[in-house]
Amino acid sequence: MPSLPSPALAYRLEAARAVVHDAARLAMSMRPPPGGPQGELKSAQDWLTETDGAVEAFIAQRMQALFPEDGFQGEEGGISRTGSLRWVVDPIDGTSNYARGRCRWCVSLGLMDGDEPVAGVIDAPALGEVYTALRGYGAFLNGKPIKASPIRDPARSMIEMGWSGRVPKPVFMEKMDAIMALGTMPRSGGCGALALADVASGRLDGYIEIVINLWDVAAALPLLAEAGAVVSPFLQNGGLTGGATILAANPYIGPVLAEAVSIPLK
Ligand code: IPD
């Protein structure tokens, strides 16, 4: 019989789920209609909407009221509080989709214990999907357990690679070329957190992003670990303090993909 989770962590996961639910409703209420992007550019093709700030402020305030001793880090506001437990939020991941009234975006809230990701909630309200995970106690999509896909043959696999202006075009093209040379089906959906959640649920066999940030992946890391996916050492390779590379995949495709794109799993 598995031991019970620490009450402090179990309570935090439940609280996070409720707060993110309310934050996701706020994001839905502010969602732009389908059409050209509504927002401003932070840098090339890197969008910021009014909702990013509103959702981050909402979550920061609610978490401070509930857990004043916990640290807090947001995509927009950086580290505003410190603590041995630290919440890491991406208020809208997939902002470029959100800004055009598309559906593929989410609110992502991860919990770190020191440098260890221990829990995560990813709520994608336009898709009607909520992912939750607590280290040692499983990964779930809308309350049902999920696991990484059993696909072993790259020629039957679907691999996503995230794109951002942070990556020089030749590097992106070289990795994409290596992925496609394996015979895989490529994807690029514009929401790193949901792509990693797709690896955890078996909807994708692998996800690669050359430069991605902690707030994009913090909630997904416990999901991936609990779902049996393999993940390159993102945190150890600079992800705690800046942009770093991530490769996440099912355990069969992972080693093949890692070798093909030269992103070690260890
Ligand atoms: C971005 C998305 C995108 C990924 C970028 C992220 P944002 O986050 O996750 O898919 O490729 O690296 O910056 O800006 O929508 O929060």
* Portion of the chain with pLDDT greater than 70, in percent: 99
pLDDT at 213: 98
List where CATH 3.30.540.10 sits in the chain.
Answer: 7-145
Q: State how far the Cα of 89 lies from the Cα of 27, in Å rounded to an integer.
A: 14
- Atom 13 (ligand 1) nearest CA: 212
pLDDT at 48: 95
Q: What is the mean pLDDT of the chain?
A: 97
Residue 4 pLDDT class (50, 70, 90 cuts):
confident
- Atom 5 (ligand 1) nearest CA: 164
Give the residue-averaged pLDDT of 219-246: 98
Q: Which CATH superfamily is domain 7-145 in?
A: Fructose-1,6-Bisphosphatase, subunit A, domain 1 (3.30.540.10)
Centroid of ligand 1 to alpha carbon of 65 (angstroms):
28
pLDDT at 229: 98
Q: Which of 95, 109, 213 to mutate to test the pocket of ligand 1 (most atoms within 8 A of CB)?
A: 95
Binding-site positions: 75, 90, 92-93, 216
Centroid of ligand 1 to alpha carbon of 75 (angstroms):
10
Confirm if 47 and 37 have CB atoms less than 8 A apart.
Answer: yes
Per-residue pLDDT tens over the stretch 81-122: 999 999 999 999 999 999 999 999 999 999 999 999 999 999
Task: Quickly tell me which residue has 């090339």 as its tokens.
Answer: 44
Walk across the sheet containing 85-93 and list its strands.
78-81, 71-74, 85-93, 106-113, 116-124, 129-134, 139-141, 144-145
Which residues does 89 contact at the CB level (< 8 Å), separation at least 6? 56, 59, 60, 72, 73, 74, 75, 107, 108, 109, 110, 215
What CATH number is given for 154-261 in this structure?
3.40.190.80
pLDDT at 169: 96
Which residues does 241 contact at the CB level (< 8 Å), separation at least 6? none
CB distance 209 to ligand 1 below 6 Å:
yes
Give the residue-averaged pLDDT of 115-135: 98
List where CATH 3.40.190.80 sits in the chain.
Answer: 154-261
Confirm if 88 and 218 have CB atoms less than 8 A apart.
Answer: yes
* Portion of the chain with pLDDT greater than 90, in percent: 98
pTM across the whole model: 0.97
